[in-house]
Amino acid sequence: MKRHPLITFFVLAYALSWWAWIPYALGVFPNPVASFGPFLAALLVLALTEGRAGVLGLLRRMVRWRVGPGWYAVALLLPVGLTVMATLLNLALGAERPTPADLGRWTGIFGTLAVVLLVPGVGGAWEEPGWRGYALPRMQSRWSALTSALVLGVLIAGWHLPLIVVGQVEYPDFVLILSAAVIFNWLFNHAQGSVLLIMLAHAANNAVSGSYFSTMFSGADAVRESWLLALVWGVVALALILAGGPRNFSRTQARQVEPAGELVAPPTAAAATVATGRKE
């Protein structure tokens, strides 16, 4: 484990999540995946490889709230905007319009957001301390932001396979997960490594898309909604890569890395260029 902590983390993240398939098959658990598995895996690996300091470092990142208010707006409103865009496209392409009763359920979004954010095992927000809080900074210390996002996205998509099998997640969501890996990593790198903001973004997407807009459609309309969501997330992810570059997802700020236990922000991309005499 100490020689290969990152590999160990991913093995444990799968194992501590997929055990839920058994109680799900017995009808006593609502999902075949325990969404807090990646968080537990991160705590276990940190406790055994870095001790108390490593665990406290992760917990501090989960409550790192001192970031610019604009990044809170991005975390909460970007998932909302992308979902609304996909829904409007779906309606323009002939999807059946939601009923007034469907639209009237919007007040439930806030309760869903709170539950997904605060209750481990409900929704996907509690995956993020593992994926972004533990794995991403260590991956970005080895690879570029783009390579880290693609590898992490594939591993997160694979983690969702039991949900695909039982029909709770659609195949277009694989594309969305890969795109979300880019967008969430971009947000993480710009928000001083705050896991809290990524949890907010994930919870907002679950509450607005999964529990509100997507439930308004059925049949072919629901399938089209899934593909349109994947499309709009993919377009935004591509735009961020082109705007910021594959190395850091930013022209002025370097990616977050984890060299030795505590998350630090490396010098800005511009400073690194001056120091090394090379262009990134």
Does a structural domain hold residue 47?
no
Cα 196 to Cα 65: distance, rounded to the nearest angstrom? 7
Does a structural domain hold residue 227?
yes
- What is the b/e burial string over 35-50, where b = at least 16 CB atoms within 10 angstroms of the residue's CB? bbbbbbbbbbbbeeeb
Cα 125 to Cα 106: distance, rounded to the nearest angstrom? 20
Find out whether 126 and 115 touch, Cβ atoms under 8 Å: no
Find out whether 229 and 170 touch, Cβ atoms under 8 Å: no
- The kind and range of the H/E element at 269 are helix 269-276
What does the longest C-alpha to C-alpha distance in the chain come to?
62
Does a structural domain hold residue 157?
yes
Does a structural domain hold residue 38?
no
Give the domain extent around 74.
Answer: 68-276
Does a structural domain hold residue 253?
yes
Non-local CB neighbours of 79 within 8 Å, separated by 6+ positions: 201, 204, 205, 208, 209
Does a structural domain hold residue 44?
no
Does a structural domain hold residue 39?
no
Indicate the number of domains in the chain: 1
Does a structural domain hold residue 137?
yes
Cα 70 to Cα 28: distance, rounded to the nearest angstrom? 42
Q: How confident is the prediction along the chain (280 residues), in pLDDT tens digits per residue?
A: 888 999 999 999 999 999 999 999 999 988 899 999 999 999 999 999 999 999 999 999 999 999 999 999 999 999 999 999 999 999 999 999 998 888 888 888 999 999 989 888 777 899 999 999 999 999 999 999 999 999 999 999 999 999 989 988 888 999 999 999 999 999 999 999 999 999 999 999 999 998 899 999 999 999 999 999 999 999 999 999 999 999 999 998 889 998 543 344 444 444 443 333 444 3
